[in-house]
Amino acid sequence: LWDYRDDHGKPVIQELVAAARAGGGFVEYGWQRPSTGRPERKLGYAALIPEFGWMVGTGLYFDHLEQSQQVIQRSSA
């Protein structure tokens, strides 16, 4: 997947690895959602595990983040 680019031309894996090498960080990108088969906005976080030479990452789709934010706002009102 090294050369994979999202629908906007962003080299997703390359940017995630760069964020990890820079000490860890967030990257926004498009990714095909398994449940819909459509590309959707995602916010990923990548970190480096130097002793193994690994990059690990996780991410959330923006609609899930927005839904969670709405729940928090309603519960604090």
Taking the C-alpha atoms of residue 1 and residue 46, their distance in angstroms, rounded to an integer, is 15
Q: How far is CA 74 from CA 35, 67, 69, in A?
A: 27, 11, 9
Using one digit for the tens of pLDDT, what is the confidence trace for 4-60?
A: 999 999 999 999 999 999 999 999 999 999 999 999 999 999 999 999 999 999 999
Q: Phi first, then psi: give them for residue 34, nearest 5 degrees.
A: -60, -35
Q: Cβ distance 16 to 27 under 8 Å? A: yes
